Structure formats: structure tokens, C-alpha cells
Amino acid sequence: MMLLSKETDLRANETYPGTQAVARAIALLKAFSDSQPEWNLTDLAQATGINKTTAFRLLAALEAERLIMRNPLSGGYRLGVELIAIGSTAMRSNALRAASRPILATLAEQCGEAATLELLVEGFVLVIDEVASNHPMGMTQDVGSRLPLHATATGKVLLAALPAEQLDMLLTTPLVRHTDQTVTDVQRLRAELAQVRQDGFAIAAGELEPGFVAVAAPVPGRERQVIAAISVGGPSLRLTSERLPAIAAMVQMSARQISRQLGYWPR
């Protein structure tokens, strides 16, 4: 089977009628986020670089399919309920999530804290599954959340597994400070990533949220490349420095179990 290069794909997209409209509609949908759940037409058109008239037509089509909805009070646009059904179907059909779910559940029960499965997507960590803590006041990361790579344990694990050229590209933009503990110096981060490669796990303590500690390990796929990361996270009052080595060992073991489910057996 012939594999198409990125350049070939782009030319193909220009050849087939309607692909530009599809790409623009997707750009409109992807503009919505937790920090920006609602847009007015003018701002959304400007943010996506789409002509206002074109954006209006595309939004009307998306609204007709219930992929977009209007706020009756403000008139603003929000993501529609049909996306919930589509997203749920996507999660249920995801082989990685299906293989990981029972192992995540066991890990969360053993540690008494929330366990997550996360991927590297477009320069962020994307949470695709979570098993909540059994503590009433447990700290969680919502499924679908996009988190910064440099301030999360899973992000550091995924960064550490990247080829040098790809890592260099991701580290060209300034590192945003989220707390006093966030690592914003690129050379210091590179040193941490080298340690992560050596240890096989990463720890982030108070780097994304004050008082939140997470331990993560990589999940290699069938081709021996890291395709995901799993983590256990919770408040520093429970995830103390004394507990972290044992939790790190459990996270690494769980990551290896997921890898075996996917067909990867370390040599």
C-alpha cells in the first residue's frame, strides 16, 4: 500500500471539491475550549481567519446538524449536543482506551487517587480517560482537557520520548508559568527530560496547580514507540515524598500491562 506524504495530502485536499469548507468547519469547532466555551460570530471569524459571511454559513450548517447550538440569551455559539454522542462513540471505539480502562481502574484503586490516560496532541497533553479517586475531595482532570506539556508529569514523559528534532520544535515557544513551581527554563526542562528517560517515569509537583502532585509513565505501542502516558495524581498531602517511589512503581507496572495488551513485550 502506497503511503501519501503530507505534501501529497495537501494537494489532494485542493483537488477535491468541498474539502476547504470541511477544513473551515472543523477549524470553527476546534476553536471552542474550556476557556472559550462560547463565541460571537465576529470574534470566532477573526480567531479562525475565516470570512464572517462564510463563517455564518458554516455555523448555520453545523447548527442544523446539532453540532453547534445558539445561546438563547446572548446569541453566542456553543458546541452542540450531537458532539457529545459522537465523542462518546469515539471513546468507546478507541482501542487504546478500551485496553487501558480496566488497568487504570485497578491502578486508581491501589493508589487511592485518580488515574488518567493521556496523549500528545498538537503541542498539548489531551486527557482521553480518567478513573476518579475514591476520596470525596479528590483532585481530577476532566476528559477532553488539554494540558501544557512542560507543567505535567504525562507531558514530560511524552516530551522525553520524542525524537530530538521534534522536541526542539516544541521547545521553541516560551514556556508559560502556571505556578511558582513551573519549570520555564528550557535548559532545566531538558535536564529533567534526560532524567525522565533514565528513570522511566516523571513527577510534577505543584507545577500545574498548587498542591497537585502527579506521577506518570510512558506506554509504548506495538512498534515500540511511546504512544501515550498514564498518571496518578492527587493532593500533596496524600502524595507525599515517602509514597512517591511506591506509586511510581505501580504506575510503571500498569503502563507495561497496557503495552502488553497492545501487543508490545519488552525484550
Residue range 123-179, pLDDT digits in tens = 899 999 999 887 755 455 677 788 999 999 999 999 999 999 999 999 998 999 999
CB 95 within 8 A of CB 120: no
pLDDT of residue 16: 60
- Domains of the chain: residue spans and CATH: 6-85 (1.10.10.10), 94-261 (3.30.450.40)
The answer to whether the CB of 175 falls within 8 A of the CB of 182 is: yes
Compute the mean pLDDT over every residue in the chain, rounded to the nearest whole number: 87
Sequence-ordered alpha helix ranges (H) in the chain:
6-15, 19-30, 41-48, 52-64, 82-93, 95-111, 153-160, 164-170, 186-199, 244-261
- Hey, what amino acid is at 16? Y
Q: What is the pLDDT of residue 91?
A: 60
Each residue of 5-40: pLDDT tens digit? 444 344 444 556 578 888 899 999 989 887 889 999
**What would the pLDDT profile of 215-264 be if each residue is shown by its tens digit?**
999 999 877 889 999 999 999 999 999 999 999 999 999 999 999 888 87
Of the two residues 4 and 107, the one the predictor is more confident about is 107
Helix/strand/coil for 138: coil
User: What is the pTM assigned to this prediction?
Assistant: 0.69
State residue 4's pLDDT score.
Answer: 39
Question: How many angstroms separate the CA atoms of 236 and 209, rounded?
Answer: 11
H or E segment at 206? none
* Closest C-alpha among 90, 94, 139, 96 to residue 229: 96
